[in-house]
Amino acid sequence: MGAELGPHLHVDGDSVVHRLPAHVKLVGLVTFVLLVVALPRDAHVARLVMLAVAAAVVVTTRVPLRHVAARLVVETPFVVFALVLPFVATGPAMEVGPFTVSRDGVEASIALLLTATTSVLMAVAFATTTSSRDLVRALQHLRLPDRLVQILAFMVRYLGVVGSQAQRMKVARESRAFTARSVRSWPVIASSAGALFIRSYERGERVHLAMMSRGYNGRMPVTDPLHAHRGDWSRGLVPATLALVALITVHVL
């Protein structure tokens, strides 16, 4: 695939999670998250257990905790919504210090925080141990629509190229003493955005012509297929299995 998208996400390593095939990790991630989301709203103990499982997976990756903590910023909108929810939800009221909040809102807030944190931790564990190239190969292996896989593959390959072009244009503007300080600078920024769009469109045409000249027929060849053994599946689905056990236990009890 060439250049990697988001090298700040992927971290090279030799942990158990790193060695798992990408499609196994992807299936395990999606299954685990769906099962955690399916837990009843008041199953806080089960969610805490799932949070501990996700944290254990992150520790198993041997990725520096500072790297993981920086990626948890993506959870900020969920945290903000969870903090506001007790004050805007309806239902029986309860006193929490000097505040009067909704009891249902508090329960929903706790469930949202635990679910979001657990899901984000697992997603970070997946992103830090799986390269963008392996992600595209996993989607191909799982028989996702070929057109969607191609769109993702080109995004992975060329988003970095377009970003580099935008950075060079920014340096060119600054070298000409341009600074975006007021509304008057908007026309210059708009012109730069338009030029970037035209250049990206023309680059896409050149890439398409190059692919056609090399025999492209609408499908991307699978040059390096993924393989997984039974042991890989058994290890990769351990978190999902624990989530399934927790879901069944909650419903039985």
- CA 50 to centroid of chain Cα atoms: 19
Dist CA 248 CA 57 (whole Å):
22
* Overall average pLDDT of the 174-182 stretch: 86
pLDDT over 70, % of the chain: 96
Buried b (16+ CB within 10 A) or exposed e, 92-117: eeeeeeeeebbebbbbbbbbbbbbbb
- To the question of pTM greater than 0.75 for the whole model, the response is yes
CA distances from 105 to 46, 90, 190 (A): 19, 7, 44
107 contacts 180 by C-beta, under 8 angstroms = no
Residue 123 pLDDT level (bands cut at 50, 70, 90): very high
Nearest by Cα to 141 from 21, 32, 20: 21
226 contacts 133 by C-beta, under 8 angstroms = no
DSSP-assigned letters across all residues of 43-98: -HHHHHHHHHHHHHHHHHHT--HHHHHHHGGGGHHHHHHHHHHHHH--SSEEEETT
**Which helix H or strand E contains 252, and what residues bound it?**
helix 238-252
Query: pLDDT tens-digit profile of 190-249?
Result: 999 999 999 999 998 999 899 899 888 877 777 677 888 999 999 999 999 999 999 999
Please check the confidence at residue 3 and state whether its pLDDT lies above 70.
no
- CA 190 to centroid of chain Cα atoms: 30
Q: What are the structural domain ranges in the chain?
A: 16-137+227-252, 144-213
Query: pLDDT tens-digit profile of 58-110?
Result: 999 999 888 888 888 889 988 999 889 888 888 888 887 788 888 888 889 99
Dist CA 141 CA 134 (whole Å):
10
Amino acid at 18: H
- 221, HSE (Cβ side, Cα atoms, 13 Å): 7
Residue 207 DSSP code? H
